[in-house]
Amino acid sequence: MNENTIPLEHGPLSRRRFLRTTSTAVGGALVAGLAVERAAHAAGNDQIKVALVGCGGRGSGAANQALSTNANIKLVAMADAFRDRLESSLNDLKAKHPGKVEVSEDHKFVGFDAYKQAFAAADVVVLTTPPGFRPMHFEEAVKQGKHVFMEKPVAVDGPGVRRVLAAAEEAKKKNLKVGVGLQRHHQPGYIETVKRLHDGAIGDIVSMRCYWNDGGVWVKPRQPGQTEMEYQMRNWYYFVWLSGDHICEQHIHNLDVINWVKNGYPVKCHGMGGRQVRTGKDYGEIYDHHAVEYEYADGSRLASQCRHIRGCWSSVSEAVVGTTGSCDVNSHIIRGANAWRYKKPEMPHDPYQQEHDDLFAAIRNNTPFNEAFNGAKSSLTSVMGRMATYSGQVIEWDKALNSEIDVMPKRIAWDALPQSLPDKDGLYPIAIPGVSQTV
């Protein structure tokens, strides 16, 4: 079977399904064969213990959302590569959830191996490091039998995607619940719009476009005495082994929406990109713009752009054209014979909270929930786009998936060297289309 004709495996709950599953919570708890610990959670008489690995901006946010779910829940362990990040996140979470944060000194873990010890203390693990580490962390979490929330992207190269897909299969066998931070799948406006598109509101979808064009992110200047590994870790966004480039890091959200709408993944792509403005030594090795044309199994094309350049036109959006109408997916507007517009609720809806509410409801009710397959395939969609812009070649899905190019350092330690190193002027090698090999 062609990989790309396989329907998406999102697994998120629509609002209706969410209400149905929560109202049958007690029945769910009676399902035969529930693992003892999960049966206890479902009965509501046990505490769910959470560990946070990667205590930065999103990690602190995700832990806050996990602790805000309707569950008897405690944060019991934290791990980070850097102690300063762990301590500031802990202070922030303690202030927000005084009764729910119990991280003792011996449950604060620092360094590259910290994740393993943190996992051991928990039932659910929140994985929010830079994405290069995700395959390694997800694999270990599944091995230890933990439920997982992990941020997107879930991998930055072919070997990483394969590891996540294999661990996702294992998670399914172990009945572990896995949420992935592609929160648009938990946002009612998107859910209702995509449902209408799937029901044929604009006929066959023949043309798509999506953008993440904005000004880019922070820079952390090199500090005296820092090892190269520490410098790259602090500036992870600018290194492919850590972030995958911004086409993976941010544009994945828009590519994933188009995959969702198309109910499949692209078969190939080609594109162009480069560094026009962000060229100095503070910007590592990534490009500042990519434009990629993807082709889906039915021959329809997606025009994708992502740009990180200040002072330019900005747009973070998705739109599609069908045989009988068109749709601005992010604005939730359908035009044509079945014109429709999503009515905003009076209370604004927070998809970051909803994705945790849905994950913890699935844990309590023991309902199927595994977003790792789609997370891995949408991550591969963005990885193949980078492979295309860096190389200037057509990249097929299978070639990207089966690529043996592993961008991770051979050894991960503070005194180890990443594969990409600066020259005497502090500048890193940059991919050159027509020359660089990416698969």
Residue ranges that bind ligand NAD, judged by CB under 6 A = 53-59, 79-82, 85, 112, 114-115, 128-131, 133, 151-152, 181, 183, 233, 249
How many contiguous H segments (helices) and E segments (strands) does the chain have? 16, 15
Query: Is 339 in a helix, a strand, or coil?
Result: coil
Q: Which two tokens stand for residue 334?
A: 């359908």
Give residue number: closest CB to ligand NAD. 56
Query: Is 69 in a helix, a strand, or coil?
Result: coil
- Torsion 81-164-118-58 (CA) sign: positive
> Of 296 and 369, which has the nearer Cβ to ligand NAD?
369
State the residue for tokens 């294992």: 170
Q: DSSP labels for 292-307? A: EEEE-TTS-EEEEEEE
State the nearest-atom distance from the C-beta of 322 to ligand NAD, in Å: 28
State the nearest-atom distance from the C-beta of 304 to ligand NAD, in Å: 18
State the residue for tokens 């990519």: 290
State the nearest-atom distance from the C-beta of 153 to ligand NAD, in Å: 6
> Of 202 and 376, which has the nearer Cβ to ligand NAD?
376
The whole-angstrom distance between residue 187's C-alpha and the CA centroid of its chain comes to 15
State the nearest-atom distance from the C-beta of 64 to ligand NAD, in Å: 12
> Of 114 and 208, which has the nearer Cβ to ligand NAD?
114
In 199-288 the beta strands, taken as DSSP E runs, fall at 205-214, 268-274
Alpha helices in 174-318 (DSSP H): 188-198, 228-234, 240-243, 246-249, 252-262
> Of 140 and 288, which has the nearer Cβ to ligand NAD?
140
State the residue for tokens 């762990």: 86
> Of 51 and 79, which has the nearer Cβ to ligand NAD?
79
State the nearest-atom distance from the C-beta of 413 to ligand NAD, in Å: 11
* Pairing of β 147-150 and β 73-80: unpaired
- Torsion 10-11-15-16 (CA) sign: positive
Burial group, residue 200, by CB count within 10 angstroms (0-12, 13-18, 19+): middle
State the residue for tokens 């569950």: 71
> Of 415 and 423, which has the nearer Cβ to ligand NAD?
415
State the nearest-atom distance from the C-beta of 110 to ligand NAD, in Å: 8
> Of 57 and 426, which has the nearer Cβ to ligand NAD?
57
State the nearest-atom distance from the C-beta of 150 to ligand NAD, in Å: 8
State the nearest-atom distance from the C-beta of 84 to ligand NAD, in Å: 8
> Of 109 and 390, which has the nearer Cβ to ligand NAD?
109
